[in-house]
Amino acid sequence: MNLKTAIVILNWNGKKLLEQFLPSVVEHSKEATVYVADNASTDDSINFIKETYPSVKIIRNAENGGYAKGYNDALKPIEADVFCLLNNDVEVTPNWLVPVIETFASESNTAIVQPKLLDFNKKDHFEYAGAAGGFIDKYCYPYCRGRIFNTIEKDLGQYNDTCEIFWASGACLFIRSKVFRELNGLDEIFFAHMEEIDLCWRAKNMGYSIKYVGSSTIYHVGGATLSNANPKKTYLNFRNSLFALTKNAKGNIFFVLFIRFILDGIAGMKFLFGMEPSHTTAILKAHLSFYRHLKQLLKQRGSTQCKAKYYQIRSIVVDYFIKNRTDYKSL
């Protein structure tokens, strides 16, 4: 089965990243059409692509609407069977597409696929933003095979498999176009960060399968747009995980949210005592934004099939910080 694949790289003022990483994508993606979706950049990104890589198709978005709106707008006119949402700070490897496309071709219920994500700056280690496939605990704290909180595993071939996961990293997310459209794309309320978890969760709630394919490898810089030390990232991660939890979780959401609020409060105090008050403030702002959006989120929840078993671990916070389980296989 020959699946038409579109690799779509979202870019905003990322000329330097495109200079560094676009060459590997063009060289190793002969099985696909490569697009750059530009989020109204003010640098010289567009001219660079036109002059250096005329085979790359350019889509110009009217504004910088973030990751979610940027992709929603860019993917509308593209005709393909499979979309690959690829960050502009990713180096791909030879034949990276083949095992992914073969998985889609042989598994009709598989809607989303993620390759192995390794760290571009430390290539024998997994990368924070997806590693070897993502999961969440009962309270929507994310973790990965190969990465729990800030503990990153070395790649020793322990995840050279193909397996079911709960969420695929937005750094490189393959999705069937018909499923992306069936789900009405990414939820733009997220703007950036964790919108891929929400997308995957909605796909799971509709009965689709999500796979990690370890025979496909890419290298991701991570934090090229917003580093982990930036309070804005703390704000978005805490807020958006509450958004995803409220929209999609099966069961008594209010009890789960109550426990989550306590855990977030503990995290805020930890930042405060660790002399990082800006991150404590970011958590407070995240909760205020969540309360402002609660009515809308509950309305979305009412139109969602909240039926998927979404967690394997009750609390990754307890396992990691109290039980000292710092790698995936110890959970």
Q: What is the pLDDT of residues 20-59, one digit of tens each?
A: 999 999 999 999 999 999 999 999 999 999 999 999 999 9
Indicate if the pLDDT at residue 2 is higher than 90.
Answer: no
Q: Taking a C-beta distance cutoff of 8 angstroms, is the pair 137, 126 a contact?
A: no
Share of the chain above pLDDT 70, in %: 98
Q: What is the pLDDT of residue 224?
A: 54
Q: Taking a C-beta distance cutoff of 8 angstroms, is the pair 71, 8 a contact?
A: yes
Nearest to 5 by CA among 121, 105, 117: 105
Q: How far apart, in whole angstroms, are the C-alpha atoms of residue 306 and residue 322?
A: 30
User: Predicted confidence band at 223 (pLDDT cuts at 50, 70, 90)?
Assistant: low
Q: What is the pLDDT of residue 86?
A: 98
How many other CB atoms sit within 10 Å of the CB of residue 308? Answer: 19
pLDDT digits (tens, 9 = 90+) for 283-323: 999 999 999 999 999 999 988 888 889 999 999 999 999 99
- One DSSP character per residue, 79-120 reads --SEEEEE-TTEEE-TT-HHHHHHHHHH-TTEEEEEEEEEET
Q: What is the pLDDT of residue 17?
A: 96
Q: Where exactly are the structural domains of the chain?
A: 6-114+134-143+161-210, 231-309
How many other CB atoms sit within 10 Å of the CB of residue 215? Answer: 16
Q: How far apart, in whole angstroms, are the C-alpha atoms of residue 316 and residue 148?
A: 8
For domain 6-114+134-143+161-210, give the fold: Spore Coat Polysaccharide Biosynthesis Protein SpsA; Chain A (3.90.550)
User: Predicted confidence band at 152 (pLDDT cuts at 50, 70, 90)?
Assistant: very high
Q: What is the pLDDT of residue 227?
A: 61
User: Predicted confidence band at 247 (pLDDT cuts at 50, 70, 90)?
Assistant: very high
User: Predicted confidence band at 226 (pLDDT cuts at 50, 70, 90)?
Assistant: low
Indicate if the pLDDT at residue 225 is higher than 70.
Answer: no
Q: What is the pLDDT of residue 61?
A: 94
- What pTM does this model have? 0.95
Q: Kindly report the average pLDDT of the chain as a whole number.
A: 95
Lowest mean pLDDT among 69-73, 175-179, 189-193, 320-324: 189-193
Q: How far apart, in whole angstroms, are the C-alpha atoms of residue 323 and residue 182?
A: 41
User: Predicted confidence band at 229 (pLDDT cuts at 50, 70, 90)?
Assistant: confident
